[in-house]
């Protein structure tokens, strides 16, 4: 059995979700690594887009920010933030990866404050482009460690819309129909959202974990498939490419 760490597992799972020819808006770090891995394996025609305006660059190595000059290297277009956000609003971006300090059962994200708005325990960076990406990209994914403090029943502040209050609430708010949270990828499991209620649902377990492990590290009741499959582990080829071509400096995947 090939050894791998939890970050490598999450990146490989995410890369497998990105089909050839799709468009994906990414930030730096693990989402960028996942997109680069997808390009170098099953999805060579994946179009990577960065918030600062780089579209379909030939990334020579991992960039350190969305505005890094490497995100424009041999790009098909060197646009701007306006270029990217208008592309999202026009329905041209299939996937995006987002994160936050908190996520609830409907995939709503908080990256603004922990605690009360008037007197917060922690003040966070805020939305950036996350609200725009989540509002208009067709499929929003999150890569995050499984942690009860992160997976909460209700976010302290709604920075980025998920399925809002579940059911038809997102559609009724005026956001595009059939666009919204798609997959949540953690070190323990992969989750999606039950089609009717839009509640978070466990659909596969990562090697070494049980449903009870996932539920214990979540602040709300999770739905689940009746028969939970095992998430396929990274292959030797995926790990070799990730470690030697995507992130040889181990900036994201660690030592």
Alpha carbons 222 and 145: distance in angstroms, whole number: 16
**Residue 1 CB: number of other CB atoms within 10 A?**
5
- Is 51 catalytic? The answer is yes
Catalytic option among 8, 17, 19, 51: 51
Helix then strand then coil, % of the chain, to nearest 5 = 25, 20, 55
Q: End-to-end distance of the chain based on CA atoms, in angstroms? A: 19
Contact predicate 24/57, CB 8 Å: no
Neighbours of 14 (CB within 10 A): 26
| Cα gap 21→45, rounded to integer Å | 5
Q: Determine the Cα–Cα distance for residues 83 and 66; give it in Å rounded to an integer.
A: 14
Strands 180-185 and 54-55: unpaired
Instruction: State the Cα–Cα distance between residues 216 and 147, nearest whole angstrom.
Output: 9
Strand 120-123, strand 139-143: pairing: unpaired
Which residues are tagged catalytic?
51
């Amino acid at each position: 059995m090939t050894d791998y760490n939890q970050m490598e597992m999450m990146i490989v799972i995410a890369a497998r979700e990105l089909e050839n020819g799709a468009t994906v808006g990414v930030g730096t770090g693990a989402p960028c690594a996942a997109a680069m891995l997808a390009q170098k394996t099953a999805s060579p025609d994946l179009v990577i887009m960065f918030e600062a305006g780089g579209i379909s660059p030939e990334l020579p190595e991992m960039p350190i920010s969305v505005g890094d000059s490497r995100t424009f290297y041999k790009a098909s277009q060197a646009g701007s933030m306006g270029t990217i956000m208008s592309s999202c609003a026009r329905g041209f971006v299939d996937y995006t990866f987002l994160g936050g300090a908190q996520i609830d059962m409907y995939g709503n994200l908080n990256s603004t404050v922990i605690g009360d708005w008037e007197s917060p325990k922690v003040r966070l960076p805020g939305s950036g482009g996350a609200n725009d990406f989540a509002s208009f990209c067709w499929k929003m994914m999150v890569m995050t460690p499984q942690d009860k403090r992160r997976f909460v029943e209700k976010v302290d502040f709604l920075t980025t819309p998920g399925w809002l209050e579940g059911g038809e609430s997102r559609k009724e708010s005026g956001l595009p129909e059939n666009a919204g949270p798609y997959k949540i990828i953690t070190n323990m499991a992969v989750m999606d959202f039950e089609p009717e209620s839009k509640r978070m649902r466990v659909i596969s377990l990562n090697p070494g974990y049980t449903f009870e492990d996932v539920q214990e590290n979540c602040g709300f009741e999770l739905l689940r498939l009746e028969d939970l499959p095992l998430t396929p582990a990274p292959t030797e080829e995926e790990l070799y490419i990730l470690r030697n071509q995507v992130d040889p400096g181990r900036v994201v995947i660690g030592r």
